Amino acid sequence: MSAVNWVYVVDYDIPTKNASRRVMFYQAIHKMLMMHLGKDVKFSTQSCYFTEDAELAEKFLEVVQQFNGKGHIYKAVKM
């Protein structure tokens, strides 16, 4: 039996009425990812973030909540 490969999916929405706040959110996410991963990260604005690192998923959700966004973390089997 092979080991299960998990992926954490952070599904989030942030308020969109204030464009400058939205920019600040994406800057904060970029900075957090740089600090955690130690390298430049290409980041999609598709309201989902995928990682195999549970701690990173939690940190990502914390940033979402700091900007009054809503989100959930799902644990999924990577196929």
pLDDT (tens digit per residue) in 57-66: 999 999 999 9
Identify the architecture of domain 6-77 in CATH: 2-Layer Sandwich (3.30)
The residue extents of the domains of the chain are 6-77
Q: Give the closest residue to 32 by CA, choosing from 46, 49, 47, 11.
A: 49
What DSSP character marks residue 2? P
> According to the model, what pLDDT value does residue 57 have?
94
| Mean pLDDT, range 2-28, rounded to an integer | 86
Tell me the sheet residues that pair with 50: 9
> According to the model, what pLDDT value does residue 4 have?
67
User: Encoding tokens for residue 40?
Assistant: 């430049």
Q: Which helix (H) or strand (E) holds 48?
A: strand 48-51
Cα 16 to Cα 27, 39, 49, 50, 57, distances in angstroms: 15, 28, 18, 22, 22
